[in-house]
Amino acid sequence: MGITFLTFCNVSLFYGLNDYLAARGVPSMWRGVLLGLEPCTALVLRPLVSPFLTVRNSVTVAAGSLLLLMGALCSYSLAGSIGTLALVRIVHGAGFVLLASALTMLLVASLPPGRTGQGFGVFAIAGLLPYAVLPPAVERLLPLVGDETRVYALFAPALLLALPALPYLRRRILRPGNDGAAALRRPTPAEIRADLRAPGVGPLLLANGLVFTATTVVFFFMKDLLESLGALNAGLFFSVSTAATIGVRVLFGKLLDRMDRFAMLLVMLLALSAVIALFSLAGDAGALLALAGAYGTCLGFALPQLNAAMVDVSPAHLRGFNTNLMLFTMDGGYVFGPLLAGGLLAAGATTAHLFVWAAVCPLLGAVLARTARPAATGDAGTGRES
C-alpha cells in the first residue's frame, strides 16, 4: 500500500500541468497532446511488458521503475521546448506503467483466496489518498518554489522511501509455502482470445475506459473552471471529492459485496454522468463543493464495482490478466480524455462545455455495464463470489 501511494502521487501531482503549460504559452491542442503523452506511453507499453512480468521479477522491475520516475520528475524543470517536454512525458509514462504493472502482479499474488474484491477495495484507498493529500500541498508550495516543475523535482526524493520496502516484499511473497503465487503462469494466446470473446469482459473494459476518459477531463480541467469562476482552489475541490470516495470505501465496503453489483453499477454511473454535467452549471463555491462530494461518492461506489464485476465474469485463472486489462483501458481513458478536451477547446468550446461532453462517457459506460450482467442467477453479479 505504501508503494502504491507513492506510485499514484506521480499522477495526482500533475493536476495543474494544463495551467502550467498554458502559462508558458503552449497552444491548447499541444497541451492536450502533452497531457496525454504520459498515459499514452502506458497504453502502448502495458500490453508489451505484461507478458514478461512474473511475480519473481516484479520486485526488480519495481526498483528500476522507481529510479526512472525520479529522473523524469527532476527533468520537467529542464525541459525548455515542446519536444523536450514530450520526451520527459514519455519517460515518465514508461516508469509509471512499469511500476504499476509490477505492483499489480504483486497484489494478485498477495491477496488471500476468496477475498479478491475486498483486497482491491483496500488497495484502491492507497491509490486515492494522493488525490486528497497532494493538490492542497502543492497549492501551498507553489508560492514558495515558483512553479509546478520545481514541485515535481522536490517530490522525486520521496520515491526513495519505497526502495527499502522491496526486499521485504520479495521475502514475504516468495516465502516458503507461497510457491503457488510465485509460479503463476502467463495466459496462452488462445486463452487470451477466448477471454476477450467471453460475455461481459469486453463491455466492462470499454465501460472502464469511458469512465476514466471522463474523470481525466475533470482532473486536468477542473482547476481552469474553478479559477474562471473565482470560486475556490482546486486543492480543496479534490480533497472533498477524494475524502468522499475514501469514506465510501471505508464505511460501506461490505455493502459493495452485499447488494446487486450490476444494479448498483448502473445507478452510480448514471449519477456520475449527471454530476459531471452539473459542473458546467455550478456558479458558486457551495454548489461546487456539494458536487465535489457527490462526484467522489459516485466514484467510490462505481470504480470498485467495475473491478469486482470483472472478477465476477472472469475465469479464475484469468483474473490477474483481466485486472491488467482494466488498467490498460484506464490508460486509454487518460490518453483520450486530454486529447478530446484539447480538440474541443481548439474548436472553440469553453471549459464548462468540456464537462457536458465528458458526461456522455459514463452514460455510455452505464449502458455497456448493463449488458455485461451474467445471464446465470445466483452468486454471479451479487459480489458473494469475491
- Tell me the three-class secondary structure of 48-101, residue by residue: HHHHHCCHHHHHHHHHHHHHHHHHHHHHHHHCCCHHHHHHHHHHHHHHHHHHHH
Q: What is the pTM of this model?
A: 0.74
Q: What tens digit of pLDDT does each residue of 218-264 get?
A: 988 888 888 777 766 677 888 899 889 888 888 887 777 778 888 99
Q: What is the 3-state secondary structure (H, E, C) of 156-215?
A: HHHHHHHCCHHHHHHHHHCCCCCHHHHCCCCCCHHHHHHHHHCCCHHHHHHHHHHHHHHH
pLDDT at 378 over 50: no
Cell numbers found for residue 207 = 465501460
- The per-residue pLDDT for range 324-354, each reduced to its tens digit, is 788 889 888 888 888 888 888 888 888 888 9
**Domain boundaries in the chain?**
2-371
Nearest Cα neighbor of 237 from 315, 139, 144, 108 is 139
Residues 262-279 have a mean pLDDT of 95
- pLDDT band with cut points at 50, 70 and 90 for residue 48: confident
CA distance 195 to 100: 22
Q: pLDDT at position 385, please?
A: 35
CATH superfamily, with its number, for domain 2-371:
MFS general substrate transporter like domains (1.20.1250.20)
Query: What is the distance of C-alpha 363 from the center of its chain?
Result: 19
Could you tell me the pLDDT band of residue 63, with boundaries at 50, 70 and 90? very high
